[in-house]
Structure formats: structure tokens, C-alpha cells
């Protein structure tokens, strides 16, 4: 008895946050048919047609399809492999199953493609404010689904290629049976190769879909940055206006502040006069050093990294000059 099975994993995405997984599989048990050649008529390719003779009865086959959607089950019933193909090659079931699974993968891919295409069309009809309000977590969820799609398609392609390899190994091991129905094995191999090619094509398209979505994410991100840039420019213009107004009123504020101190004495009456205190110089003696110290502290803090780099650079140069050249030899 020969046992074989294949398992595939699929992800059907309806929206960014609504999806479900599927894991269809097939399991085949096949009793090896008799080794002797049947005595009835031959096929055009030289393979023997199985008969109902008790000595040459077809090997018993048990095939289990698990988690296969109803539409695909009906499709398998319509495309049921012929008795000739089933009799001499159990891998025909894997070929039929792979064809239906490839159609499922195609449906899953198109559901993702529709999501990406809707994003692309929305970009062409949306205003700048709507584009700047893009839901980035939603885009990244779709990107995650596409990553999963590419991954499972690559695994599916590898699975089908493994079935092709296993069928070739089986033909080499059971040469007597394989020689009776060479056409059946060639046809099965062609079906499996076609399914593998479909998986490969879907994988390439899935990778292309990733690039398309990345392009939309980058565009939305750049538009958001442009919006932030415009807001920053507006804030900068506002701050400049405030700065200009402050500069206009600063001299008057400074003068009124000085004249409002006790260093000046104003007397009103018949003979209006004003006097300046003799110790007015104390104001400048305190203000000027304090202003200078404030500017120096700010400069040291603002340029601390530049000064630090210059210090270590100069120190390394001095160290290089003091080194003995012979020590490096």
C-alpha cells in the first residue's frame, strides 16, 4: 500500500480586519495493482487498460478531501479522473486537487488585489486633506496579509514540486507498473507542472502587489509630511510676526523700565525738574556682566557637541605627533 498526502494553507481576506484561514488537504491510500500485464485491449500509447478480471482488478483506492469548499468539491466531481489514470497512478488525485487549490489561491489573490486597487482609485479622487487623514494601521494590515499570501504561495509551489519529484521517484521504483501506462504518468506530471506554474505566477503577482501597496503607503506618508511642513511654515511665519512686533516695542519697554527705577527722581510743580542718582552706574555694572554670562552659557550649551568633537579631534592630532613612528613598525 502506498500512502500520500498534500496540505495547503490559504488566507481569504475580505477587508483589512476581516479574514479567515483555510487548510484544504487530500489523503490517498492506494493498493498496488498486479504486476502482470492485463490481457485486454491496449491504449494508443501502449499502456494497458484495466479490466474487471479478478487477477487484474484495479488496486483499491481511498481518497479523502478535507476542508475543501463546496464549489471545489463539485468541480472535482465534474473533472473526476478516468479509471485508466487512477488505476496506474495514484498521484493523479494530487494533480486534480492541486488544480482546484490553484483556483482557490487565485480567488484569495484577487480579494487582496481589490483592496489595493480601491486604495489606488481613492488616491485619484480624494482631496489633500483626505489623503493626509489616511489610516496607516489599515494599510499596514493589508500589507501583512499580502506578506502572508506571498509566503503561502511559495510554500504551495514547493509542495507541488515535491509531489512531482515524488512521482518521478515512484516511477523509478515501480518500473513494471509505470511502463504499462506511460501516458498516464506523463499526463499527471503535466497537470502538476501546470499547477506549479500557476502558483509561481500568483507568487510573482503577490510580490508585485506588495510593491504597489508600498508605493501608496510612501505617497500617503509624503503627503502627510507635506501637510506638517505647511503647518510648520505657518507657525514659523506667525513666530516671525510676533518677533517683529516684540522688537518694535522692545526699545520703548527698555526705556520705560529704566526711567521707572529709583535711579531717576521726577519733581512736578512750578519748577519741573528731574535728577539722576549718582549710583546709576550700579545698574550697568550688574546688567552688562549678567547679560554677557547669559549669552556665554547659551552658546556653550548650544554648540557643546561641536566643541566636544573639535576637542577630541585636536587631541588625537597631538597624540599622533607625539607617537614614535618606529613603534608602528
pLDDT in tens, 25-50: 999 887 776 553 333 333 444 444 44
- pTM of the predicted model as reported, rounded to 2 decimal places: 0.62
Q: At what angle do helices 281-302 and 304-322 cross, to 10 degrees?
A: 70
Domain assignment present for residue 285? The answer is no
Domain assignment present for residue 208? The answer is yes
pLDDT score at 36: 39
CB burial of residue 275 (10 Å; 0-12, 13-18, 19+): exposed
Domain assignment present for residue 131? The answer is yes
Query: Which of 84-93, 120-129, 154-163 is least confident?
Result: 120-129
Over 50: is that where the pLDDT of 51 sits? no
Quickly state the pLDDT bin for 270 (edges 50, 70, 90): low
Question: Which tens digit of pLDDT belongs to each residue from 197-216?
Answer: 999 999 999 999 999 888 88
Quickly state the pLDDT bin for 159 (edges 50, 70, 90): very high
pLDDT greater at residue 236 or residue 50: 236
Domain assignment present for residue 74? The answer is yes
Quickly state the pLDDT bin for 318 (edges 50, 70, 90): low
pLDDT score at 282: 78
pLDDT score at 145: 93
pLDDT score at 247: 72
pLDDT score at 223: 76
Domains identified in the chain, total number: 1
pLDDT score at 47: 44
Question: Which tens digit of pLDDT belongs to each residue from 111-137?
Answer: 999 999 988 888 777 676 676 667 888
CB burial of residue 183 (10 Å; 0-12, 13-18, 19+): middle
Quickly state the pLDDT bin for 236 (edges 50, 70, 90): confident
Domain assignment present for residue 188? The answer is yes
Cα dihedral across residues 275, 278, 279, 284: positive or negative:
positive
Q: Are 87 and 58 in contact (CB under 8 A)?
A: yes
The mean pLDDT of 142-157, rounded to a whole number, is: 93
Over 50: is that where the pLDDT of 64 sits? yes
Domain assignment present for residue 283? The answer is no
Domain assignment present for residue 309? The answer is no
pLDDT score at 201: 93
CA-to-CA distance for 123 and 121, rounded, in angstroms? 5
The mean pLDDT of 275-302, rounded to a whole number, is: 81
β-partners of residue 42 are 48
Domain that holds residue 124: 2-33+57-229
CA-to-CA distance for 102 and 156, rounded, in angstroms? 9
Question: Which tens digit of pLDDT belongs to each residue from 5-14?
Answer: 899 999 999 9
pLDDT score at 216: 84
Domain assignment present for residue 225? The answer is yes
The total of other beta-carbon atoms located within 10 Å of residue 17's CB is 10
Quickly state the pLDDT bin for 276 (edges 50, 70, 90): confident
Amino acid at each position: 500500500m502506498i500512502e500520500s498526502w498534500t496540505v495547503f494553507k490559504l488566507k481569504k481576506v475580505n477587508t483589512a480586519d476581516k479574514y479567515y484561514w483555510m487548510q484544504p488537504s487530500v489523503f490517498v491510500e492506494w493498493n498496488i495493482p498486479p504486476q502482470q500485464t492485463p490481457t485486454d485491449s491496449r491504449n494508443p500509447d501502449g499502456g494497458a487498460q484495466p479490466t474487471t478480471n479478478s487477477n487484474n482488478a484495479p488496486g483499491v483506492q481511498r481518497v479523502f478531501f478535507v476542508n475543501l469548499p463546496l464549489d471545489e468539491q463539485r468541480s472535482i466531481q465534474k473533472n473526476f479522473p478516468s479509471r485508466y489514470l487512477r488505476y496506474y497512478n495514484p498521484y493523479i488525485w494530487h494533480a486534480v486537487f492541486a488544480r482546484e487549490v490553484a483556483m482557490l489561491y487565485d480567488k484569495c489573490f484577487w480579494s487582496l488585489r481589490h483592496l489595493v486597487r480601491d486604495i489606488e482609485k481613492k488616491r485619484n479622487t480624494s482631496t489633500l486633506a483626505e489623503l493626509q487623514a489616511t489610516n496607516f494601521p489599515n494599510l499596514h494590515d493589508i500589507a501583512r496579509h499580502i506578506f502572508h499570501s506571498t509566503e503561502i504561495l511559495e510554500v504551495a509551489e514547493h509542495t507541488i514540486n515535491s509531489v512531482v519529484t515524488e512521482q518521478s521517484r515512484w516511477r523509478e521504483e515501480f518500473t513494471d507498473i509505470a511502463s504499462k501506462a506511460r501516458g498516464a504518468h506523463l499526463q499527471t506530471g503535466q497537470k502538476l507542472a501546470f499547477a506549479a506554474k500557476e502558483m509561481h505566477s500568483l507568487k510573482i503577482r503577490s510580490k508585485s502587489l506588495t510593491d504597489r501597496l508600498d508605493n501608496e503607503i510612501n505617497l500617503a506618508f509624503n503627503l502627510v509630511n507635506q501637510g506638517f511642513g505647511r503647518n510648520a511654515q505657518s507657525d514659523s511665519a506667525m513666530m516671525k510676526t510676533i518677533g517683529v512686533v516684540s522688537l518694535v516695542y522692545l526699545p520703548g519697554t527698555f526705556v520705560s523700565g529704566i526711567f521707572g527705577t529709583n535711579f531717576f527722581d521726577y519733581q512736578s510743580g512750578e519748577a519741573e525738574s528731574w535728577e539722576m542718582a549718582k549710583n546709576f552706574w550700579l545698574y550697568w555694572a550688574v546688567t552688562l556682566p549678567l547679560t554677557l554670562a547669559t549669552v556665554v552659557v547659551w552658546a556653550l550649551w548650544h554648540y557643546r557637541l561641536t566643541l566636544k568633537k573639535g576637542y577630541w579631534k585636536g587631541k588625537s592630532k597631538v597624540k599622533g605627533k607625539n607617537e614614535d613612528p618606529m613603534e608602528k613598525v
